[in-house]
Amino acid sequence: MSVPAISSCEQEVYNLVSDWNLAATICKKYDCGVSASVCVLTYLAKRERELSLDFSQTARAEVAISLDVAYVLFSAYLVFGPMQLGFTLLCAGAIRSKNSMNVLMKNILDACTCAIGFYLFGYAFSYGHKSHKTSNAFIGDWNFAHSYTTDVSSDPDPVAPGDFPTQGWHAWLFQWSLCAVATTIVSGAVAERCTFGAYLAYSFFISSFVYPVVAHWVWSPDGWLSAFNTGARGGYARILRTGAIDFAGAGVVHMTGGMAALMGAWIIGPRIGRFDASGKVNEMKGHSATLVVMGTLLLWFGYYGFAPGANLTIATMSGAVVVSRVAVNTTLSAATAGLTTLFVRYFQSATWDTVLVCSGCLGGLVSITAGCAVVEPWAAVLCGLGAAVVFISSEYMVLYKMKIDDPVSAVALHLFCGLWGLIFPGLLAKPHYVLGVYGDNGFGTTVKAAGKYGILYGGHGQVLLCQFIEALVICAWVGTMMGAFFYIFKVAKQLRVHVDQELAGLDVTKQVVDQYDGGGSTAPQQPMERAAFGPGATTSAFYSNGDDAGSYGRMRPELGRE
């Protein structure tokens, strides 16, 4: 073997740097005829610049990712904290006080069960996919109990972060908070008559299976309805090459919850006394408007995490613009809906109805949820206007025509306003915004050329059709799943509380019912010592209330004897 000749350049440079490979590199790049040391110095200076550029790029990339993480986390806190609290208080205020403690408990509890269910199964079914692979279009199949999140979060490479931005810890927290919203919607619809066990089971079921599947269809990059499913087909989505536009979940969260609420309220049946023998509706007012208003404002506050946070990124200019626009649209829609409801009700009955206005504002929030990123502010105002009309008419239809007792109008609010909200981008999605948020891919051409935007802007209608498809499949899937679920519980007589218990109020202890359960049970049990409000009791939320719940902290054995 002959040794390659070493040039005088390499030899001199080697004397300086003591590394043959480095010497060869330097000599290839520079002409070392003048002086080897000048060569080496030039090389070193250039290398230093490259490295510091890398470093600052790395640092910038890290800060950008961290900013997004902080933003998503904070949005999740907003969705969970104020929104969950708001809905809890709203439910409590909108029903009779003798059941308020029960509904408070259900609301807190579904946050807990949702966390466990979504952790074990839900997140995997929504977004789980093996690294560098795709899951199937129907359901996710990876990352059960955070097995993959733990993995993906342990390989720090800021410039090539892999799945961390979309599958990291913060992602789970935000998705969980959305799931908690969908789960808790039903608590209001079945309030005052649902058994605790059924509710526990329901919240686990919907958060670990029903909701995640819908989320997978619409939001996972692998989902069949998703506007983000652009990997395989040359850059455009699977359905009509468009995919459904559901930015923060009018369909995924609100229609899912609303449809489940419809199934629940319908199958469980109306509260005793709600409809009299001739089918006339009796009014059953809530016990505290203060709580309803407080809940509404908290929900509105938390919505600023729900809608803008759905962008999942704020660290770029375009991301920041989208987030801000969403916040503006959200505000306008809620405000318009509230005002419209106010005036419509005044026109109907010459009253300024506080509670209805609250619901109106919420309807505005729900309906802008799908299109908040892609409509203009004046369109958001129209959306709110439509939401108010939709809400009032659907509330009337559900109660008077369908004869379904829904104490907090959850069905009208979430299902019907959600439906309106889902349709809305099909009407008024602006082309420029659509391409900004979902990418500039039409039928092998640009969004504008393909008409992939709202029909009132001159679009070709594929967006509208996709929205209809999404609405239809959500109703079908959730309706079937939750219908079957509630029906099974009903058949097993585990869905609804005993008549006596419902009349006494759910806050009074369960022991009352056991003593008089159709005569089938054994001798009346000893009334257990139980606090009205302390470890081990479920009794009234209030010490004294004017309703017919009777006393608390004491057994009411005489109840069944009347």
Partner 1 sequence: MNILLQTILDAAAAGIMWYCVGFGFAFGQGENPNKFIGDAMFGLARYSTHYTGSGTGRWTDFFFQWAFCATAATIPAGAVAERFNFNAYLGYSMFIAGFVYPVVAHWAWCPQGWLGFATVKPLLDTGYIDFAGSGVIHMTGGLAGLIGAAMVGPRLGRFDADGNPVEMPGHSAILVVLGTVLLWFGWYGFNPTSMLAIDTYAYANVVGRSAVTTTLSGAAGGIACLLGGFIRRRGWDLVGLCNGILCGFVAITACCHVVEPWAAIICGVVAGIWFDFLCWVLLKLKIDDPLSAGPMHFGTGMWGVFFTGLLAKQEYITEAYNRTEDKMYGAFYPHSNGKLLACQIIGILAIIGWVGGTMTIFFGIFKFFGALRIPPEVEEMGLDRSKHGGSAYNGGGMGVSPSAPGNDVMRNQQQPSIKVLPMNG
Of residues 49-88, which lie at the interface with partner 1 (CB under 8 A)?
A: 62-63, 65-67, 69-70, 73, 76-77, 80-82, 84-85, 88
* Torsion angle (degrees, nearest 10) of CA 172, 294, 274, 509: 70
Phi and psi, residue 86, nearest 5°:
-60, -45
Considering the rule CB under 8 A, would residue 150 count as an interface residue with partner 1? yes
Of positions 139, 198, 225, 291, contacts partner 1 by CB under 8 A: 291
Of positions 276, 544, 558, 562, contacts partner 1 by CB under 8 A: 544
Using the minimum distance from each CB to partner 1, give the nearer residue, 519 or 535.
Answer: 535
Q: Which of 301, 304, 440, 426 is nearest to 370 (CA)?
A: 426
**CB contact at 8 A, 506 and 497:** yes
Using the minimum distance from each CB to partner 1, give the nearer residue, 62 or 440.
Answer: 62
**CB contact at 8 A, 480 and 260:** no
Tell the smallest beta-carbon distance from residue 536 to partner 1 (Å): 4
Compute the distance between CA of residue 95 and CA of residue 292 in angstroms, rounded to an integer: 10
Compute the distance between CA of residue 289 and CA of residue 297 in angstroms, rounded to an integer: 12
Binding footprint of partner 1, residue count (CB under 8 A)? 94
Considering the rule CB under 8 A, would residue 269 count as an interface residue with partner 1? no
Of positions 175, 288, 501, 515, contacts partner 1 by CB under 8 A: 288
Tell the smallest beta-carbon distance from residue 488 to partner 1 (Å): 22
Considering the rule CB under 8 A, would residue 543 count as an interface residue with partner 1? yes
Q: Which of 370, 300, 306 is nearest to 72 (CA)?
A: 306
Phi and psi, residue 18, nearest 5°:
55, 35
Of positions 351, 393, 445, 480, contacts partner 1 by CB under 8 A: 351
Considering the rule CB under 8 A, would residue 296 count as an interface residue with partner 1? no
Tell the smallest beta-carbon distance from residue 331 to partner 1 (Å): 21
Stretch that binds partner 1, among 395-403, 417-425, 457-465, 530-538 (CB under 8 A): 530-538
Tell the smallest beta-carbon distance from residue 56 to partner 1 (Å): 13
Stretch that binds partner 1, among 147-155, 240-248, 387-395, 496-504 (CB under 8 A): 147-155
Considering the rule CB under 8 A, would residue 546 count as an interface residue with partner 1? yes
Using the minimum distance from each CB to partner 1, give the nearer residue, 226 or 341.
Answer: 341
Considering the rule CB under 8 A, would residue 116 count as an interface residue with partner 1? yes
Q: Which of 283, 279, 255, 216 is nearest to 394 (CA)?
A: 255
Compute the distance between CA of residue 131 and CA of residue 6 in angstroms, rounded to an integer: 48
- Taking every pair of Cα atoms in the chain, the longest distance, rounded to a whole number of angstroms, is 113
166-185 footprint of partner 1 as x/- string (CB under 8 A): --xxx-xx--x---------
Compute the distance between CA of residue 486 and CA of residue 407 in angstroms, rounded to an integer: 18
Using the minimum distance from each CB to partner 1, give the nearer residue, 475 or 537.
Answer: 537
Tell the smallest beta-carbon distance from residue 551 to partner 1 (Å): 8
**CB contact at 8 A, 338 and 364:** yes
Considering the rule CB under 8 A, would residue 521 count as an interface residue with partner 1? no
Considering the rule CB under 8 A, would residue 112 count as an interface residue with partner 1? yes
Of positions 287, 325, 496, 498, contacts partner 1 by CB under 8 A: 287
Place of tokens 């405000």: 335
Q: Which of residues 188-207 bind partner 1 (CB under 8 A)?
A: 196
Tell the smallest beta-carbon distance from residue 6 to partner 1 (Å): 42
CB atoms within 10 A of CB 132: 7
Residues near 245 by Cβ (< 8 Å), separated by ≥ 6? 227, 370, 371, 374, 425, 426, 429, 434, 438, 463, 466, 467
Of positions 162, 511, 516, 560, contacts partner 1 by CB under 8 A: 511
408-427 footprint of partner 1 as x/- string (CB under 8 A): --------------------
Burial 304-328 (b: 16+ CB within 10 A, else e): bbbbbbbbbbbbeeebeebbebbbe
Using the minimum distance from each CB to partner 1, give the nearer residue, 156 or 234.
Answer: 156
Helix (H, G, I), strand (E, B) or coil at 392: helix
Of positions 14, 75, 96, 425, contacts partner 1 by CB under 8 A: 96
Helix (H, G, I), strand (E, B) or coil at 525: coil
Compute the distance between CA of residue 17 and CA of residue 182 in angstroms, rounded to an integer: 65
Considering the rule CB under 8 A, would residue 299 count as an interface residue with partner 1? no
Q: Which of residues 369-398 bind partner 1 (CB under 8 A)?
A: none
Tell the smallest beta-carbon distance from residue 523 to partner 1 (Å): 16
Considering the rule CB under 8 A, would residue 531 count as an interface residue with partner 1? yes
Helix (H, G, I), strand (E, B) or coil at 275: strand
Using the minimum distance from each CB to partner 1, give the nearer residue, 7 or 131.
Answer: 131
Compute the distance between CA of residue 145 and CA of residue 16 in angstroms, rounded to an integer: 56
Considering the rule CB under 8 A, would residue 303 count as an interface residue with partner 1? no
Place of tokens 């996919």: 129
Helix (H, G, I), strand (E, B) or coil at 67: helix
Stretch that binds partner 1, among 99-107, 183-191, 227-235, 415-423 (CB under 8 A): 99-107
